[in-house]
Structure formats: C-alpha cells, structure tokens
Amino acid sequence: MKTQRTRYDRPVEVAPGIHWVGFHDGYSNFHCNPYLIIEGDKAVLIDAGSRADFPVVMRKILQTGIAPEQIVALIYQHPDPDLCGSMANMVDLCANEALTILSDRANNVFLSFYLERERRGLLRSMDDRGMVFSFNGRELRFFKTPFAHTAGSLVTYDPRTRTLFSSDLFGSYSQRWDLFLRLDDQCRSCDAYDTDGPCAYGKPYCPLTDLLAFHRQVMPSDKALHRAMKVIGGVGAERIAPQHGSIIDQQEDIAFLTGCLAKLTGVGIDGLSGNGA
C-alpha cells in the first residue's frame, strides 16, 4: 500500500471543491469521514459525523472558509449514529432558513429521532427531488443501495469531479490508516488476500484483509453487497470516498476492489449460515 504525508489536523481538499473534514483517531481502527462540498458561497455536508466528533468537524469546516450558515443541505446516507449523531448540533449552528436534511424516506423515520420535534420538518426525501440536488449550479445525484447496509442506504455522486460518496461501502477497519488507499501491482495481482495467512509478498500489512472483514461484518448478506456493486459499477466514478476507511482514487484500484466485493461470500447472515450467494 502506498501512502502520502497528509496533515489530518486540517481539512484536506480531495477533489476540486470537496474537502475531507473528518476525525483521525490514532487509537481506533474505525475512522469517520465527513465531506464538505463547496460551490461558490454555498456548501453541502455529507455524513456529518458523531456528536463526539462535532467540535473537530466544525473547526475544519470553518478552516475551509465556510461559515455554518452557508451550509444549505445536510446529506445522510444511512441513519447510524456515527454519522448522524451531531445532526442537532449542526442544525442549531447552521441557523439557515434554507437548510434541508436529505436522505431516503426509509431513513427519515429514524433520522427524526435525532431532532427536536419542531425541527423534523427539515427532513426531505431524495425521491421527492428526483434523486438530484442542485446548489449554485452544481448537481449531486443519488443512487439507492438498499440493505447495504440499511433498508434506506444510498450513495451520492458528484458528476463534476466524478466522485462517489459511498457511505459504508468500500469502508474498512483500517488497522494502518491513511486518507488515501493506493494499491500496487502486487496487491492487485494477489490471489491470497482473503486468507488468514501472511502476505505472499512479505508486506507487513494487507489493507484488503481489513476491508473484506468490514464488509462481512457490516453488510447483511452476499446478495445485498453484490447488488450494491452492480449499482456502483454503473456510475462510472473515478474517485470513491467512503464514510469509513480510505479514499480510493486510482481507476485500477476501483475496478479491482469493486470486483473483489462483487464476488465476496460469507457476508453477514450468509457467513453465519454458511450459504453462498
């Protein structure tokens, strides 16, 4: 795995107008990655993070030059607390009459419990917007990935930079973490990455082992994961930005990892029952 030196105490621009504003936890293998998309004087925040991470995430948003009231939408791709826990804090600080909270209708049932009753009117369904959201001329598109890992799970695509915000898909526990995951030819040609043994090439760490273990534990079944890979394979993304783990920005890595996950077995309940796809 190739890594690069990056300052994680500040926002990181990972594509034009797209900033990682996440929290790097040096004591945990579980990293959360909120992303801020800026277009002119407006911004959208994707999977804003937990309540505990709120101070760090908001500080990094401010470091980009964006004030909270310039955020016009909060996008939540599934309803877990690691990405939704700070929702009430975000709404209070944004103080923007135009603010909307976007997710799938199935998610909004659960997202409402993060908000005071009088704020629940901010929740909107992607379906009601034709699976598209535009701000300052920049269009974001949404694709449903049901049961990967919740009934209302979805992914968000920015056609301008061809960046796909993939939520838990392509996530990892990342025992050795960098913001970017870049494999080499040996990793992509390896046929033993899904075993418990040491790396066939003598490397001290295999990122694929953590990535596959994450999907087997977090996704509910082989079928749900394989269906999601078909959806993602049809988007044509050149960069995948997951909510956990590392960003994948090399085409050969995206193709390789999509193929690995598209044929992964023993996922969720299928791993318990011993049934394949």
Phi, psi (degrees; rounded to nearest 5) at 49: 110, 180
Q: 3.60.15.10, 3.40.50.300, 2.60.40.10, 3.30.200.20: which CATH number matches 12-116+140-273?
A: 3.60.15.10
Considering Cα of 163, then 108, then 94, then 11, what sign does the dihedral take? negative
Say what the pLDDT of residue 3 is: 41
What is the C-alpha separation between 38 and 201, in angstroms, rounded?
A: 42
Entry pTM = 0.92
Strand order in the sheet with 132-135: 132-135, 138-144, 154-158, 163-167, 239-242
Tens of each residue's pLDDT in the chain, 277 residues: 444 456 788 999 999 999 999 987 666 667 789 999 999 999 999 999 999 899 999 999 999 999 999 999 999 999 999 999 999 999 999 888 889 999 999 999 999 999 998 889 889 999 888 899 999 999 999 999 999 999 999 999 999 999 999 999 999 987 788 899 988 887 888 776 766 666 767 777 778 888 999 999 999 999 999 999 999 999 999 999 999 999 999 999 999 999 999 999 999 999 986 554 4
What are 199's two structure tokens?
Answer: 């790396």
| Residue among 72, 133, 60, 126 nearest 97 (CA) | 72
